[in-house]
A and B are shown apart, each in its own frame.
Chain A
Amino acid sequence: MQLRHGLVVGWIVVALIISQGVSATPETRSGLCNCEAVRLLSMRSPPLKGPDVVELQERLTRLGFYRGPIDGIYGSTLAQAVKKMQATLGLPVNGKMDERTWEALALYETRPAGALLSPPTGEISILVDIDTQTLIVYSDGVPYKLYPVAIGKPESPTPAGEWVITEKAAGWQGATGIRWMRLSNPWGSYGIHGTNNPMSIGQMASAGCVRMFNEDVAELYEWVNIGALVVLKRGGTVSPMRALFKTGAVGQDVVYLQWRLRQLGFDPGRADGVFGEETARAVAAWQKYRGLKVSGVVDENLLFLFGLL
Chain B
Amino acid sequence: MLATILTSLFCLALWLWWRLLPGRQIYPEIRPEKKYSVVLWDFDRPLAGHESYREELLSEIQAFNRDFPNIEVDVKLFPWDQGEQVATAILRRQDVPDVLSSGPIENLDFGRRVLLSPQHLTEESRLGYVPLAMSALEQGGEYAFWPRYIKPQLYLANTNLLQIAGVELSTLEQYGLGWADMLELGQKLSQLPARPFVLASFDYEGLLTAVAPREVEEASAASSNWPQKAAVTAAARLKQLQDRGFLPPNASQDNYSGVREFFAGQAALLAPAEPWLIRAVEGRSDRIERGLLDPGENRPFPTALIAPKLDPTSGLPAQVEVLVVFRRRRAADEIRAAVELAQHLSRSGTLSAKLDLLPAYGPSQDTWCEAWELGNEATLLQVCEHGRIVSPYPNTGLEGKDVLGRIK
Contact = CB atoms under 8 A, between A and B. Distances in A.
B48 interface: yes
Interface string A152-168: 00000000000000000
A1 interface: no
Interface stretch (B136-144, B185-193, B227-235, B285-293): B285-293
B259 A238 contact: no
B284 interface: yes
A262 B48 CA distance: 8
Interface in B181-233: 202-203
Nearest to A265: B46
A266 B46 contact: yes
Interface residues of B, number: 32
A290 interface: yes
Nearest to B280: A305
Given A238-B292, A264-B46, A304-B260, A292 B81 contact: no
B293 A301 contact: no
B69 to A, nearest CB: 32
Interface in B371-395: 393
A307 B294 contact: no
B255 A295 contact: yes
B46 A301 contact: no
Nearest to B46: A265
Contacts of B283: 307
B293 A289 contact: no
A282 to B, nearest CB: 9
A168 B49 CA distance: 34
B255 A304 contact: no
A286 B256 CA distance: 14
B50 interface: yes
Contact of B50 (A262, A290, A292): A262
A266 B45 CA distance: 9
A300 B255 contact: no
Contact of A236 (B50, B255, B292): B292
Interface residues of A, number: 28
Contacts of B263: 304, 309
Contacts of B202: 292, 301, 305
B298 interface: yes
A4 interface: no
B89 interface: no
A237 B294 CA distance: 6
B355 to A, nearest CB: 10
Contacts of B51: 265
A266 B294 CA distance: 23
Contacts of B295: 309
A307 B46 contact: no
A9 interface: no
A235 interface: yes
A293 B292 contact: no
Nearest to A235: B292
Interface in A56-113: none
A306 B291 CA distance: 15
B398 interface: no
A263 B48 contact: yes
A257 B283 CA distance: 15
Contact of A292 (B48, B255, B293): B255
B353 to A, nearest CB: 14
Contacts of A290: 276
Interface string B43-68: 00111111100000000000000000
Contacts of A293: 203, 254-255
Interface string A279-309: 0000001101111110100011110111111
B277 interface: yes
A304 B284 contact: yes
Nearest to B253: A293
B291 A265 contact: no
B292 A309 contact: no
Interface in B273-317: 276-277, 280, 283-284, 287, 291-295, 298
A264 B50 CA distance: 8
A245 to B, nearest CB: 14
A288 B45 CA distance: 11
Contacts of B48: 263-265
Interface string B248-265: 000000111011101100
Contact of A238 (B258, B293, B393): B293
B277 A289 contact: no
18 contacts: A235-B292, A237-B291, A238-B292, A262-B50, A263-B50, A265-B49, A265-B50, A265-B51, A285-B46, A288-B80, A289-B46, A293-B203, A293-B255, A300-B259, A301-B258, A304-B259, A307-B293, A309-B293
Given A293-B254, A300-B259, 6 more contacts: A265-B47, A265-B48, A304-B262, A304-B284, A305-B277, A307-B283
List 10 tightest A-B contacts by C-beta distance, closest first. Answer: A265-B46, A301-B259, A301-B256, A307-B284, A304-B263, A237-B294, A300-B260, A293-B255, A305-B280, A307-B287
Interface of A: 235-238, 262-266, 285-286, 288-293, 295, 299-302, 304-309
